[in-house]
Structure formats: C-alpha cells, structure tokens
Amino acid sequence: MQLRAHKQHQCTAHAALHAARQPAALRRLPPQPLPSQRRHCLGGTACPSRRNPQQDQQQQQRGAQAPAALPEALALIEASPGRDVAAALLAAGGSLLLVKFFDTLERMGWIDKKLSRKLVHTLAGPGFLACWPLFGAAPYSRFIAATVPALNMLRLLLVGSGVVKDERTVAAMSRSGDRRELLRGPLYYVAVLIAITTIYWRTSPVGLIIASLMCGGDGLADIVGRRLGGGNPLPWNREKSWAGSAAMFGGGLAASLSLIWLFSGLGYFEAGMPAMGLTVAAISLAATLVESLPVNQTVDDNLSVPGVAAFLGILFLQVAVEVL
C-alpha cells in the first residue's frame, strides 16, 4: 500500500516537472469562447461592454446632425451674395459670347453687319431673362442681376459720349457708324432691361412680355421685313411691311409665352395659360400696331413698344392671372 502511494506521488511530481519545462506557447490555455461568441472591437474603438453610455449618446447625436448639416449649408450658399455674383458673371459672360459669336460670323462674311446687330438685339434680352432663375431669392438679388445691363449701359455712355474710343462697338451697335447713335436705341434697350429687372423681376409676367416684344418681336420684324417685305408694304407706313409686322407679332407672342411657361413652371407665379395666351396675344397685337406707325423718327421703338406692353400688361394681365 505504501509502495503504491509512493509511486503515485512520483508520477504526479514527474508530470508537474514536465509541464513546467514546456514552452509557454504549448501550455494548455483556459477554454476560449467560440468565434460567434467573441466581441470584436474593430478600428480601435472600445467594446460595447466597456463604452460609456454618454459617449454612445454623443455619437448618435453627431450622426443625426451630419445629414441635417448639408441642407443648411446649401441654404446658406443659396442665400449668400456669392451665388448672385456668380450668376451675374455667368449672364455677363454669356452676353459677351453672344456678341463675339455674331461678330465672328460677320468677319467671316457669313452674315452682314445689320443682321449681326439685329440678331444680338433679338437674343440678348431673352437670354438675360433666362438667367434669372440662377439668382437667389434675397431682396438684393434683383439688383445684383441688374448690374449686368447696367455695366453695358455704362459702356454705351462712355463710348457714345466719346470718352472711350471703341470703333468696333460703334460699328456693331449703330446703323450709320455714328457713335452718338449708341446714346439712343441701344441705350434705351439696356435701360428697359434694368427697369424690368428691378421692378418686375421674376414675380410678374409683365416684365417678360415687355422684354419679349422689345427684343424678340421688334428684332424679328426688322430681320424678316428686310428680306420678305419688299412687295407688301403697309398702307399707313411704306417703310414697314406685312411680313415684318407678322414676324413682330408671332415672335413677340412666342417669346412671351415661352418665358411665362418657364417661370410659371419654376413656381415664381401662377398663370392659366389659355387665358394668359389670349391676353398676351392682345398685348402683342397692340405693340405690333404701335411699332408699325410712322413715328419711329420721333419715338424710338425701344421706348414705344415697351411702354405699350407695360401699360396693357398692368391693365389686363391681372385678369389672366386670376382665371385659373
């Protein structure tokens, strides 16, 4: 019996000595949890069991604030003057490119000087109005937009008065080549654009009609009248033709309705297009009649046509807006 106990003691001591001599890596480790039971803490973050509840709440708040910060930033950009300045630069650059484009076509001999001048007259105004949606909704946005034609007015004043010598501008914007002509029709043109921008802006279709009849209507009347109006003069004004007057009416009406449809679709005002179309057609007919009268030597078309359009627009347009 003693001998058996002695042998068991020797075996136990031998096993303990053998375990002590084994490397640490080979020693039996305590039971480990299964992979599905382990808590993985990636990215250096604390495990959920070790995290502070206050830190979790702060992180959730930051996550909720992050998506809301983007609309706020966009709203700040939209309300800042920077957007209006960028839109004004874009509109001014587009106007300059338009002039340079037709000037290049003239130099290449593809179009004559009169056609180049009238194409700029026809497209510059509606092109500027088409840039209005690019501006912001601040009260000063319309005035920043008005700087585009205002800078053009300053250039006309300087060149037309002789303070600045610019023969190319005089040749492109005058009929006779006299610099003083820039102080009449072209100056009235940009003055009307400044007026409709600061007075009517995007909330009234009256300004859109005024610009459309002055630019698209009057410009097309001259272009078409010179080419197709030789054999059909008007009885009350032999210098004007039925073809030119038809182009005046159709071009002004189409440009007006197109801009009204655009701005109404963007939500700047509401307009019932059937009633609006009839009202704009009546205003276009009246403006066409005024443009055909033999008074353009006394009253420039760039004043008489916008004046009639403004008067009739204010007088009758409210009816078209109310019939919805």
Question: pLDDT for 73-105, tens place per residue?
Answer: 555 656 678 899 999 999 999 999 998 899 899
Which H or E run contains 153? helix 141-160
**Closest Cα to residue 211, out of 262, 176, 177, 168?**
262
Q: How much is the pLDDT for 1?
A: 46
Mean pLDDT of 141-170: 92
Q: How far apart are CA 221 and CA 291, in angstroms?
A: 9
Give domain limits for the chain: 82-202, 203-324
For residue range 219-275, list pLDDT tens digits in order.
Answer: 899 899 888 888 888 999 988 999 999 999 999 999 999 999 999 999 998 887 788
Q: Percentage of the chain with pLDDT > 90?
A: 46
Spatial neighbors of 130 by CB under 8 A, at least 6 apart, are 259, 262
Predicted confidence (pLDDT) at residue 217 exceeds the cutoff of 60: yes
Among the residue ranges 2-6, 180-184, 206-210, 308-312, the one predicted with the least confidence is: 2-6
Residue 167: pLDDT band (50, 70, 90) is confident
From residue 80, give the alpha-carbon distance in Å to each of 76, 144, 268: 6, 12, 20
**Closest Cα to residue 253, out of 222, 274, 281?**
281
Predicted confidence (pLDDT) at residue 307 exceeds the cutoff of 90: yes
Name the more confident of 249 and 52.
249
**Which DSSP symbol is given to 177?**
S
User: What's the pTM value of the predicted model, to 2 decimals?
Assistant: 0.74
